[in-house]
């Protein structure tokens, strides 16, 4: 199989700047979806709707992302990966402004805009990172960039609950707007250099080109199926952890979201992404690392189904540290493997095709969780059922390992 183009090692300052910018942009997009999960109890109260509806709202975001990633990623070659990242951030900012109107219709439209803005982040970042990163550190670099997702959730967890309780949820959204606008404007001075490979005359890539390549190549196909399961579990964890701990484990909103568990989960996810990326570069086998992380993920799903208010605080902490390190820590290795197995010159397009499966897991995960919760009436029982999805992921990553040999 023909591999993607690898450029000569760029200056370290450029590598650092590209990684910092793509990480910050991804964090901004992550905040745009994560904020709803954290402010859900307060927002739902003001709107007069049940808090569990946030599962469907998150699915709207990522259902849109699943559809638009194939369309927007085709614009990267023409307009540049840096410019498309800025456009994605601008869409997220507009979505936060719409949500502040306290209208259900506006929130739905804003969720669609967040989905569109989020969809371009990974393909654009993959294009920039593959162009500007040295091959021998690629797993680590992609993993550092992917810390933007848990970093975004961490910022939300540390700030949004306190701001919401003190001033109201619109002010939490205002902080998200400031952060995203700062990132967008900071990228403008380097845009011409980073988008130096863009070609305005490029014909738009066929929307399903990346998806077809992923389906045709077995390692990419099975790897993408595994990512469906991983994102399914990851988004259920991030979306419902706070609500489960408040309603069934006796935690307060601030303790569950900022003080202990969500913060620990996202911090361990950040540490996990960097650690697993570095370790994968040492062992040279991303599929093997994903298999190991998947095994731990299965154990965490099963243990979550046994949670009760009688558990000591340290047991909750240990569980969600391990859960975060695995269910949140896998993405960088996955994206590096997608790039490594992509045909020549198609890293961005193939990443978009593989991302469809990520977004499909996110689309179905929270909605399926919310539906199953309505049947079981228990968040802990519903978390236990996630074990089935995690086991499927292990089967898919095993198939990817065999196909890549």
Residue in this structure with the two tokens 């910018």, named with its chain if needed: 21
Domain parsing of the chain, residue ranges: 12-188+206-404
CB burial readout 238-276, b (16+ within 10 A) else e: bbbbbbbbbbbbebebebbbbbbbbbbbbbbbbbbbbeb
User: Distance from first CA to last CA of the chain, Å, rounded?
Assistant: 12
Residues 6+ apart with CB under 8 A from 125: 22, 25, 26, 81, 85, 145
**For residue 368, pLDDT beyond 80:** yes
Residue 364 or 50, more confident: 364
Residue 187 or 265, more confident: 187
Specify the pLDDT at position 204.
59
Mean pLDDT of 350-372: 84
Residues 6+ apart with CB under 8 A from 69: 119, 120, 122, 123, 352, 355, 356, 359
Specify the pLDDT at position 207.
61
Instruction: Find the range with the poorest average confidence among 20-29, 40-49, 213-222.
Output: 40-49
Specify the pLDDT at position 4.
38
**For residue 89, pLDDT beyond 90:** yes
Token pair listed for 288: 């093997």
How far is the C-alpha of 290 from the C-alpha of 308, rounded, in Å?
A: 30
Specify the pLDDT at position 53.
66
Specify the pLDDT at position 252.
66
C-alpha of 43 from chain center: 23
Q: Which H helix or E strand runs over 63?
A: helix 54-72
How far is the C-alpha of 249 from the C-alpha of 241, rounded, in Å?
A: 10
C-alpha of 217 from chain center: 24
**For residue 360, pLDDT beyond 70:** yes
State how far the alpha carbon of 136 is from the alpha carbons of 151, 256, 291, 292, 341, in Å: 25, 39, 22, 22, 15
Specify the pLDDT at position 20.
93
What are the pLDDT digits (tens) for 201-252? 766 556 677 788 889 899 999 999 999 999 999 988 887 887 787 777 766 6
Rounded-to-5 percentages of helix, strand, coil across the chain: 85, 0, 15
Among the listed residues 362, 321, 334, the one whose alpha carbon sits nearest the alpha carbon of residue 61: 362
Q: With bands split at pLDDT 50, 70 and 90, how would you rate the model's confidence at 253?
A: low
Q: Is residue 85 within 8 Å of residue 125, measured between CB atoms?
A: yes
- Which percentage of the chain shows pLDDT scores above 70? 91
How far is the C-alpha of 402 from the C-alpha of 291, rounded, in Å?
A: 12
User: Average per-residue pLDDT in the chain?
Assistant: 84
Q: What is the DSSP string of 166-222?
A: HH-HHHHHHHHHHHHHHHHHHTGGGHHHHTTT--TTPPPPPTTHHHHHHHHSHHHHH
Of 74-88, 179-193, 232-246, 344-358, the range with the highest mean pLDDT is 179-193
| Four-way CATH pick for 12-188+206-404: 3.90.1150.10, 3.20.20.80, 1.20.1250.20, 3.30.1380.10 | 1.20.1250.20
C-alpha of 23 from chain center: 11
Q: With bands split at pLDDT 50, 70 and 90, how would you rate the model's confidence at 181?
A: very high
What are the pLDDT digits (tens) for 222-233? 999 999 999 999
How far is the C-alpha of 299 from the C-alpha of 225, rounded, in Å?
A: 20
What are the pLDDT digits (tens) for 287-330? 999 999 999 999 999 998 888 888 887 888 899 899 999 998 89
Specify the pLDDT at position 202.
67
Q: What sign for the dihedral angle of Cα 330, 397, 233, 31?
A: positive
Q: Is residue 262 within 8 Å of residue 241, measured between CB atoms?
A: yes
**For residue 63, pLDDT beyond 90:** no
């Amino acid at each position: 199989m023909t591999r993607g183009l690898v450029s000569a090692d760029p200056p370290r300052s450029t590598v650092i700047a590209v990684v910092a910018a793509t990480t910050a942009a991804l964090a901004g997009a992550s905040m745009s979806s994560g904020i709803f999960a954290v402010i859900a109890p307060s927002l739902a109260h003001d709107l007069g709707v049940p808090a569990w509806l946030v599962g469907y709202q998150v699915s709207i975001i990522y259902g849109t992302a699943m559809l638009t990633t194939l369309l927007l990623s085709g614009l990267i070659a023409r307009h540049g990966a840096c410019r498309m990242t800025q456009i994605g951030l601008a869409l997220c900012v507009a979505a936060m402004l719409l949500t502040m109107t306290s209208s259900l219709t506006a929130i739905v439209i804003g969720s669609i805009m967040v989905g569109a803005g989020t969809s371009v982040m990974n393909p654009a970042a993959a294009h920039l990172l593959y162009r500007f990163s040295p091959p021998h550190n690629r797993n680590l670099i992609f993993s550092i960039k992917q810390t933007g997702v848990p970093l975004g959730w961490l910022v939300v967890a540390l700030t949004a609950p306190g701001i919401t309780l003190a001033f109201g949820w619109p002010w939490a959204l205002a902080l998200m707007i400031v952060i995203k606008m700062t990132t967008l404007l900071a990228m403008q001075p380097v845009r011409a250099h980073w988008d130096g490979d863009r070609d305005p005359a490029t014909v738009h890539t066929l929307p399903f080109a990346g998806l077809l390549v992923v389906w045709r190549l077995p390692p990419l196909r099975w790897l993408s199926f595994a990512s469906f399961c991983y994102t399914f579990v990851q988004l259920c964890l991030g979306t419902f952890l706070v609500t489960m701990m408040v309603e069934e484990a006796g935690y307060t909103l601030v303790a569950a979201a900022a003080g202990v568990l969500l913060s620990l989960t996202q911090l361990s996810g950040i540490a996990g992404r960097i650690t697993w990326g570095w370790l994968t570069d040492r062992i040279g086998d991303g599929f093997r690392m994903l298999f190991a992380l998947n095994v731990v993920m299965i154990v965490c799903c099963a243990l979550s189904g046994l949670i009760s208010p009688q558990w000591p605080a340290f047991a909750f902490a240990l569980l969600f540290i391990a859960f975060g390190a695995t269910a949140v820590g896998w993405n960088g290795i996955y994206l590096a493997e997608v790039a490594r197995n992509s045909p020549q010159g198609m890293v961005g397009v193939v990443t978009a095709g593989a991302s469809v499966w990520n977004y499909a897991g996110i689309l179905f995960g929270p909605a399926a969780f919310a539906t199953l919760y309505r049947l079981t009436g228990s968040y802990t029982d519903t978390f236990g059922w996630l074990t089935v999805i995690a086991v499927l992921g292990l089967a898919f990553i095993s198939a990817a390992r065999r196909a890549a040999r």
